[in-house]
Amino acid sequence: MRKLTYFVAVSIDGFIGDESGDGNMFMSYVDEEFLAFLTSEYPDTISVEGRKILGLEGVENKKFDSVVQGRGSYQVGLDLGITSPYGHLREFVATRSLTESPDPNVELVRDDVVGRIRELKAEDGDRDIWLCGGAQLAGLLADEIDELVLKTYPVILGAGLPMFGGRTSGLDAFDLVENRTFGNGVIVRRYTRKR
């Protein structure tokens, strides 16, 4: 069975963006060492535009073949005129407000998001599904997340979008399986769900 991986940038105090949803404050930490890690280990998580800039257009997906995101996360690309920000992956957007997909590569998931994720996880394949955001979607899918990859940036936001917005139930336990520290102060931790 394929895994759902929540690969996300987060502040020390657990926020993935400020109160407006903006996470650009994390970009100042993307130095040469950290970028080398991202492009070699997680090239699939770099947007189509980023791949062009970095010369990664032909790089094969390493970990993921699908990405799921909430409407707010998807809107960031739409505001820039980008309708398929991760065109090298199958794209799924959880939304109630969009009625038509603006791009043939983007499937809108309007009902039963959990059911659709379970269908994707049950598909054959050796690559997984990346949950790239946002907070409300992560809260909804918390019970389906098999792996967490937290890029923890050395900042405290104090308020904003929590990693799991709207989560009201249960305690989930995960095992730490990898921990990397970078010279810029970023720590990347990978956890797998305890079964």
Quick: pLDDT tens for 122-175: 999 999 999 998 899 999 999 999 999 999 999 999 999 999 998 767 668 999
pLDDT 10s digits, 9-34: 999 999 999 888 888 889 999 999 99
Look up the CATH architecture of domain 4-193: 3-Layer(aba) Sandwich (3.40)
Q: How far apart are CA 35 and CA 32, in angstroms?
A: 5
The predicted model scores a pTM of 0.95
Single-letter amino acid code for the residue at 84: S
Parallel, antiparallel, or unpaired: how do β-strands 174-181 and 187-193 relate?
Answer: antiparallel
DSSP state of 167: -
Q: How far apart are CA 139 and CA 56, in angstroms?
A: 32
